[in-house]
Amino acid sequence: MPIEVFITNDFEHMSQVAADLVKKKILDVSEKKEEIVLGLATGNSPTGMYKHLARAANAGEFDSRRIRTFNLDEYVGLPGENIQQRVIHPESYCYFMIQEFFGLLEKKFRETSVPFGSLIDQKMLIRELENHPGDWEYKGTSAGKSIAIKQKTRSEYLAWIRKDILDGYRRKIRKAGGIDLQVIGVGGRGHVAFHESGIPFKGSSVMLVKLDENTIHNSVTDGHFPSVKDCPNYAVSMGAELVYQAEHVVLLANGERKVESVTRSLLGEVTPDVPISYGQKYADNGGNLIYVLDRVAGGELLKNHDALKARKIVLQDLT
């Protein structure tokens, strides 16, 4: 199916347009199924959309009690002496979703799920990786890499991570029937969730990821952590192959930092160097892909209207 791109005026306009699109998809799915499964993202880009959706749900425009959600990712290595402290840490994605979306709903979602990264003790993870180098391997060509844990391992801790934390989340999504609509943002180097630049597409289901230094530095620049030494170094994340199995994918991006990756993802080749470029393959295989951008993030696309048209990408300028 053709990829649709909506260019909006600013963050608020982008948020409203995206909320209207997502609400329409929810209502469409609700006519066919009792339960709607949403995939959700963290980060700044979807926060305005979440507020609009919460207001719509509270006004009775759709029934939030029929929705089950799965988040894309969660940190490993947040500060805290135990699991509970890590889960409720202000920078945990669980806490983020409660603050920005779940806590705004008068009628709560049927169930919400966030990857089980907070269950992993980062110090123990590092120790087990160092003590059992034959049990795993890095996959990726850049600073951020996925850690592929082998089927047969001597480390019980690494085996537990692979079976219960990673495969367990994938099984839970599959048991729910898969994701009907997935909301995603985009990182500065084109990564989706923590599928970092350079991590191969093949086999990218639910991954344990060693974070890119660029991602870590951006989390400090954006004010999430006071310094690099305070940042988590790992995460549990859906990979591109799993993200783009959803029936619909809605990508939101705003601001100057997203221009290059957004442009390359649609006008360049499909490459793990820009993980969201996988969306081209997804659309070619019949997936429903929508970009909602502010006019800064979409500025280069506006200048290349003919090139988009040649690729059968539908551009709608709402500015």
Average pLDDT, the chain: 96
Residues 145/210, Cβ–Cβ less than 8 Å = yes
User: How many domains does one find in the chain?
Assistant: 1
Q: In what order do the strands lie in the sheet with 3-8?
A: 111-113, 67-71, 36-40, 181-184, 248-253, 288-294, 3-8, 313-317
pLDDT attached to residue 229: 83
Name the residue among 6, 17, 15, 57 with its Cα closest to residue 36: 57
Q: Tens digit of pLDDT for each residue in 251-286? A: 999 999 999 999 999 999 999 999 999 999 999 999
Q: Tens digit of pLDDT for each residue in 82-137? A: 899 999 999 999 999 999 999 999 999 999 999 999 999 999 999 999 999 999 99
Q: Is 20 exposed, middle or buried (0-12, 13-18, 19+ CB in 10 A)?
A: middle
d(CA 106, CA 95): 18
d(CA 317, CA 105): 32
pLDDT attached to residue 50: 98
SS3 250: strand
Domain holding 31, by residue range, is 3-317
Name the residue among 143, 140, 240 with its Cα closest to residue 186: 240
The dihedral region occupied by 137, where left means phi > 0, alpha psi between -120 and 50, and beta the remainder, is beta
List CB contacts of 33: < 8 A, sequence separation 6 or more: 177, 180
Least confident of 187-191, 273-277, 290-294: 187-191
Q: How far is CA 140 from CA 29, 251, 268, 319, in A?
A: 36, 24, 20, 39
Which element (helix H / strand E) includes 173?
helix 167-175
> Is pLDDT above 90 for 230?
no
d(CA 149, CA 36): 32
pLDDT attached to residue 143: 86
d(CA 122, CA 26): 37
> Is pLDDT above 80 for 1?
no
d(CA 172, CA 69): 11
The CATH number given to whatever domain includes residue 103 is 3.40.50.1360
d(CA 244, CA 193): 12
List CB contacts of 147: < 8 A, sequence separation 6 or more: 129, 136, 137, 138, 139, 207, 208, 209, 210, 234
d(CA 243, CA 192): 8
Query: Across-strand partners of 147?
Result: 138
Residues 308/301, Cβ–Cβ less than 8 Å = yes
